[in-house]
Copies of this chain bind each other. A is one copy, B any other.
Amino acid sequence: MTLQDLPTPCLLLDHGRLRRNCQRMHSHMAALGVGLRPHLKTAKAAEVAALACDSQRRITVSTLAEAHFFAARGFRDITYAVGLAPHKVAEAAALLRAGVALRCLVDSPEAATAAGEAAAAHNVTLPLLIEIDCGDRRGGVLAESDSLPEIAAAIAAQPNLSLAGVLTHGGQSYACRDLDCVREVAETERHAVLRAAERLRAEGYAIETVSAGSTPTASHAVNGEGLTEMRPGVYVFGDLDQMALGSCALEDIAVTVLATVIGHNRQYDRIITDAGGLALSKDVSAQDFLPQAGYGWVMTPDGEIVDDVFVAAVSQEHGKIEAKDGGAPPFERFPIGSRLRVLPNHVCMTAAPYDRYHVLMEDGDIAVWDKATGW
């Protein structure tokens, strides 16, 4: 099988780059003395998880569908790092009964109480982490909040709950423009979750897990003291957004979308491909940093960057490649029916709808790795 035999659009994964990205994070976490619990919301594939994990095979997921997918493939220590809806305790209970060490997240006494009642109804003991907002402004309570001890008390009041620790996510690192900022967010993240742990420990709670991390902060943190683990995710693949943030180099980006040229619009200077808004996603995060990130940059099938063009626009199943200088794109380089690869703007969103990776192995073979989709 070669790239010419693959259906398009499809997801390509460069095994050598993936392996190096995983090794780099392993080394960095080891140097910090912090455990690694990679977030598999990006990759959603067991073979990627195996490379990303250490021997403890601890993972993070963003949906219970992912939890089921990985549990069925031998990953038995799973943190579901999105606030738990009470009705999802039924699914969580099924995983717990199957022997999975699943931990879920709450950020209010109400959520804890509802989870405890549901856990009792399903006759399981559910370990919970309390989510701390260190500046991401999404889920979580502030480390100094009055709610923090109230949540711990609500958990303690429920016989079918246990308090496993505290967790935060420095998502504000994605707004940084330089590494000093990222390092500052990493410290903010660490201090917030340590402070929460300290407050709870002072009240007599045993806080086993102190968890932080986004790909930017995990990549650039210089101090891991007090953290038991970090949960980066997108570092396994990298993308233009991470490159713009300084979390990876262009040559680290491991996932591309393979597309076929289906037309030359010479009237309007566009090369048209079969990888559109669904195949690339409509996420344009990297445009904040790279004005011509568009919906992705372009490589030849052999992996050579074509740096004078970009995917300027998409419709559902059409990609529209234009020259960065506004002139005619190199039509002759991309004949009708020829193939090209698109480096994703934001790979978490790009990879999500595909059900497999075509993996470019170091020996030239192409492997197929299944991935989870949906909810």
Which residues of A does B touch, CB under 8 Å? 4, 7-10, 41, 62-63, 82-88, 107-108, 110-111, 114, 131, 133, 137-142, 145, 171, 260-265, 267-268, 270, 272, 274, 277-279, 281-284, 315-318, 320, 335-337, 348-349, 352-355, 373-375
Q: Considering the chains assembled together, what is the distance between the CA atoms of A335 and B87 in angstroms?
A: 13
- Are B337's CB and A353's CB within 8 A? no
Q: Name the distance in Å between A157's Cβ and chain B's nearest Cβ.
A: 16
- Are A316's CB and B84's CB within 8 A? no
Contact of A375 among B10, B41, B352 (CB under 8 A): B10
The 3 A-B pairs at the shortest CB distance, nearest first, are namely A83-B262, A85-B260, A86-B337
Q: Considering the chains assembled together, what is the distance between the CA atoms of A82 and B139 in angstroms?
A: 41
- Are A353's CB and B336's CB within 8 A? no
Residues of B contacting A261 with CB < 8 Å?
A: 85
- Are B264's CB and A7's CB within 8 A? no
- Are B85's CB and A337's CB within 8 A? yes
SS class, residues of chain A in contact with chain B = loop
- Are B317's CB and A108's CB within 8 A? no
Known contacts: A263-B108, A265-B139, A353-B353. The answer to whether A318 contacts B282 by CB under 8 A is: no
- Are B87's CB and A318's CB within 8 A? no
Residues of B contacting A141 with CB < 8 Å?
A: 267
- Are A274's CB and B353's CB within 8 A? no
Contact of A87 among B171, B260, B272, B315 (CB under 8 A): B260
A-B contact pairs, 10 of them (CB 8 A): A62-B317, A85-B260, A107-B263, A133-B268, A137-B265, A137-B268, A137-B270, A145-B267, A316-B348, A316-B352
